[in-house]
Structure 1
Amino acid sequence: MPPENPTAEPEFQRLLGGRVNVFAARFPLTPGVGLRRMLETYNDVLPDTLGLFGAMRLDAAVVACSASHYLLGPDGDRELCARLSARAGFPVASSTRAVLEVGAELGLDAVTLVSPYVPWLTETSRAFWERAGLRVDAVVPVPLPDGGHDPYRVTAQGLLDRLDAALPDDDRPLLFTGTGMGTLAVLEELERRRPGRIALTSNQASARWALRAAGAAQGRSAAPPAAA
């Protein structure tokens, strides 16, 4: 995961509830480079980052960075995960692959995309999902109060305020993109306001995939993580 992501590990721990052990490795810092080059670097160093676990016996690994995999497109993302799995000897999935798998299980064919990214990366995300067969009917951008973009600085109240202001008045499923924007408290409030509306996040999908993969590796059935 990115070195400054403050969200993925706490949300994984909460979603998984101690049913599996979670260990993390982080990509290196990339001082002085732009966003696109930073994301490209994450893809370049991903095999070595997985290698930081050494001889630790892992059942599965999730790459908790969606943005870097948007650059690969759905086919490149799938191929990279397949190569990493073959090299590691256990299943490896990106958070984007996990979203597609869980979305297929839920029967999703169209979503409203909620994105904290800069505009070009939001558009790259939208194109990724649509090329993967998931139609994006609307986009809700989530800028910061000062107009900037930083998933790690989006607060729960700020996200709720943005949804109140910009969310289409329908029951279309919501897809919250990225592993760095905190969403669990927001999902609880959305469920209170609109019971039954589907809302899927990158960390939710990743935790669900990881729980299933770990259960399969250990020869047992893995129940889905608790709903947030």
Structure 2
Amino acid sequence: MSSRSNDYGRDATIGIGTPQANPTVEAELRIVLPPACGLVVNRLTSASSDPMQRLRDYIERLEISLDDFDTLRPDAYGFACTGSSYLIDADEEARIIERIEKRLGYPIVTAVAAIRWHLAKLGVKRIALASPYPPGLSEAASAYWSGAGFDLVEVGRIDTGSGDTRSIYTLGSKDARQAVEAMAQLDVDAVLLSGTGMPSLKLIDDAAGCSPTLVSSNLCLANRLCDLVGLPVPAPSDWQKRLADALDTSREVPAR
């Protein structure tokens, strides 16, 4: 846990790297992480017009991105982009992470590593993958999870209407509901909603207590970050009220 005397982040200061146009990561992690965790965010950036190259740039340029924190050293840092891990060689990714951890002195976990950690804790072997990706990235995601030793029973694509990976950011959890509910009928241990840009907490909340387990990139990342800084993994009951407040449409919105 954090030893800082700052008014905020009493429990820990969590760093997050989110793709440059992603509007979902900060919102979902603020809901799941304990209120006494400070959240500091940097944007993963790339000028490439090629969606796949942008994802590779995010991880390959991570050390440069983290220098934007200047002297700030979070207690742990989460790389909140699953697509990058699907496209880069796993050994190269490990070398990048290890090099940065050694230089900066704090643990770094990718969203995909957090998912694997969470699924291992649950004893999950058979999964279905909800994939809000264009075909090329969806195929890379499928290959990754099969290669990681999981029995990938089915991939349910969630159509974003575009080959640009940024189109995921226009979707809501309702856009994934049909695919998730269909995969919940399969003989699997868990349904994985991949992609940090796809809102997931409403779906997970609605499926609480049901089988198979529904997990997402952002939820797994929040849980793993808590574990890394010595905090209990948040139970749904810890964040359901904050989620309900965030989704409350009855509140009057001030005129702009």
Q: Deviations over 1:132-154 (max 9, x none)?
A: 2222111110003x576622122
Structure 2 alignment gaps of length 5 or more: 1-17, 241-256
User: Is the CA contact 1:16–1:226 (under 8 Å) kept in the aligned structure 2?
Assistant: no
Hey, what does 2:3 align to over in structure 1? none
Q: Which amino acid aligns with 2:197?
A: G
Hey, what does 1:155 align to over in structure 2? 172
Paired residue secondary structure (1:112): strand
User: Is the CA contact 2:184–2:211 (under 8 Å) kept in the aligned structure 1?
Assistant: no
More strand by share: 2
Hey, what does 1:13 align to over in structure 2? 30
Q: Which amino acid aligns with 2:214?
A: A
Hey, what does 2:220 align to over in structure 1? 205
Q: Deviations over 1:66-90 (max 9, x none)?
A: 1011112443333332222112211
In structure 1, distance between residues paired with 2:28 and 2:200: 9
Hey, what does 2:233 align to over in structure 1? 224
Hey, what does 1:78 align to over in structure 2? 94
**Kindly tell me: are residues 129 and 162 of structure 1, through their superposed partners in 2, closer, same or farther at Cα, counting changes over 3 Å?**
closer
Q: Which amino acid aligns with 2:28?
A: E
In structure 1, distance between residues paired with 2:223 and 2:113: 12
User: Is the CA contact 1:2–1:65 (under 8 Å) kept in the aligned structure 2?
Assistant: yes
Q: Among residues 39, 53, 59, which one is paired with 2:55 in the alignment?
A: 39
For 1:169-188, list aligned pairs within 5 A: 169-172=185-188, 173-188=190-205
User: Is the CA contact 1:3–1:28 (under 8 Å) kept in the aligned structure 2?
Assistant: yes
Shift of 1:161: 2.8
Which structure has the larger Rg? 2
Q: Deviations over 1:47-72 (max 9, x none)?
A: 11111111113111010111011112
Hey, what does 1:218 align to over in structure 2? none
User: Is the CA contact 1:98–1:205 (under 8 Å) kept in the aligned structure 2?
Assistant: yes
Paired residue secondary structure (1:26): strand
In structure 2, distance between residues paired with 1:168 and 1:159: 12
**Kindly tell me: are residues 84 and 134 of structure 1, through their superposed partners in 2, closer, same or farther at Cα, counting changes over 3 Å?**
farther
For 1:45-64, list aligned pairs within 5 A: 45-64=61-80
For 1:69-148, list aligned pairs within 5 A: 69-144=85-160, 146=161
Structure 1 alignment gaps of length 5 or more: 216-221
In structure 1, distance between residues paired with 2:129 and 2:40: 29
TM-score by length of 2: 0.78
Paired residue secondary structure (1:114): strand
User: Is the CA contact 1:74–1:128 (under 8 Å) kept in the aligned structure 2?
Assistant: no
- Segment drifting more, 149-158 vs 182-191: 149-158
Q: Which amino acid aligns with 2:170?
A: R
Shift of 1:10: 0.7
Shift of 1:163: 3.0
**Number of corresponding residues:** 217
Runs ≥4 in structure 1, deviation > 6 angstroms? none
TM-score by length of 1: 0.87
Shift of 1:170: 2.6
**Kindly tell me: are residues 147 and 95 of structure 1, through their superposed partners in 2, closer, same or farther at Cα, counting changes over 3 Å?**
closer
In structure 2, distance between residues paired with 1:154 and 1:74: 29
